[in-house]
Amino acid sequence: MPTITPFLWFDSQAEEAMTFYSSLFKRSRVISVNRAQGRTISVEFELEGQKLIGLNGGPQFRFNEAFSLLVSCESQQEIDEYWGKLVANGGSPSRCGWLKDKFGLSWQIIPNSLGRLLSGDGDPARAGRVMQAMLQMNKLDLRELQRAFDGA
């Protein structure tokens, strides 16, 4: 049975990134670090059950928003925690729950309920209010999204 594993191309920070990401998520583990001539070539690790591979491939390619890792959160506390840690030390916030971490990798930090809120439970007016509220946000504010959904 085949598997699908995100493969991340770093300039030279694959091991540093793996260590950083592994420190953020409770269910994470380092699987392997492959070295040659004293330098890290690639890393393999797991975050919340998702295996990832990082390669130190050099500066030819950079991350962009065409690829992101999505973190679905249960609460505003989780949103705040992951958002804060991922934008710290050189990361940058973006719109609608998106950010880039200090390595340039894009992330989406969203509440689990976002799909339901954006659908408006079939009510176009609700859906429109939630979308308009979200478009004003960088880090998503679950209470404000719910208020928009409720029409408050």
Which amino acid, 136? Q
Domain span at 30: 1-61
Mean pLDDT, the chain, whole residue set? 97
Q: Does 127 map to a domain? A: yes
pLDDT reported for residue 152: 83
The residue among 61, 87, 105 that closes a domain is 61
Q: Does 19 map to a domain? A: yes
Q: Does 87 map to a domain? A: no
Domain count, the chain: 2
Q: Does 101 map to a domain? A: no
Contact 43, 37 (CB under 8 A): no
Which whole number is the average pLDDT over 65-84? 97
Which amino acid, 83? W
Which whole number is the average pLDDT over 77-89? 97
- The H helix count followed by the E strand count for the chain is 5, 8
pLDDT tens for 30-49 read 999 999 999 999 999 999 99
Instruction: Give Rg (Cα) of the chain.
Output: 18
Q: What is the dihedral of CA 85, 93, 46, 31, to 10 degrees?
A: -70
Is the pLDDT reported for residue 94 higher than 90?
Answer: yes
Which whole number is the average pLDDT over 79-87? 98
Q: Does 46 map to a domain? A: yes
Q: Does 9 map to a domain? A: yes
| CATH number of the domain residue 4 falls in | 3.10.180.10
pLDDT reported for residue 119: 96
Q: Does 98 map to a domain? A: no
